[in-house]
A and B are shown apart, each in its own frame.
Chain A
Amino acid sequence: GQNIDQPTEMTATEGAIVQINCTYQTSGFNGLFWYQQHAGEAPTFLSYNVLDGLEEKGRFSSFLSRSKGYSYLLLKELQMKDSASYLCAVRPPEGGKLIFGQGTELSVKP
């Protein structure tokens, strides 16, 4: 079966750091993705992990532990524009299609 869990909502303060967790139980694994989606807009790609460890891209970093079925997205120096939904998705071994979690709605407060 496929199951991906993320917190539904999070709140953080402008300038702070926030970590959004994602746990997954899937029948096979070929990569984990994070997407950002602002209200009323399309998801946009943030990061991709296929090997264990940390991938850093500017203010955003993503971590993966395949043995634990766990990933997190770390957002530093939060800005108001980071208020959005963050989607965790797993790609199964056969590739192509993605399996998404329900998303985490992040609100950044002044």
Chain B
Amino acid sequence: DAGITQSPRHKVTETGTPVTLRCHQTENHRYMYWYRQDPGHGLRLIHYSYGVKDTDKGEVSDGYSVSRSKTEDFLLTLESATSSQTSVYFCAISETPDMNEQYFGPGTRLTVT
């Protein structure tokens, strides 16, 4: 299994509070991705990174920001959490953009009350 961890694995927070999710990899892969998964929508890309300090938006980036100061860490921040951001968040990595698969982390279940 690819070395990807996510923290925390579960979190309950209140509307309006900031939340940061962490993705950590030990594979030295250049590309990292944050997805959210909701019933009826499948996996949707929030943001991705193609190198240290290089990030770009995905299809559902509103309300989220990311940072990547080291190859191994990719942080996802909800500046002011809303109930619509209740979801399961998955981090993924790939060595190249044309790599034949992405490896996914175990996921973080976030509940915003």
Residues of chain A having any CB pair with chain B under 8 Å: 30-31, 33, 41-45, 48, 87, 89, 94-103
Contact = CB atoms under 8 A, between A and B. Distances in A.
Contact of A45 (B33, B59, B96, B101): B101
Contacts of B106: 41-42
Contacts of A100: 35, 42-44
Given A42-B106, A43-B90, A30 B98 contact: yes
Contacts of A41: 106-107
Given A95-B97, A96-B33, A100-B44, 13 more contacts: A30-B98, A41-B106, A42-B104, A43-B43, A43-B104, A45-B101, A87-B43, A94-B97, A96-B94, A97-B33, A99-B45, A100-B43, A102-B41
B98 A42 contact: no
A87 B98 contact: no
B50 interface: yes
A96 B97 contact: yes
B98 A102 contact: no
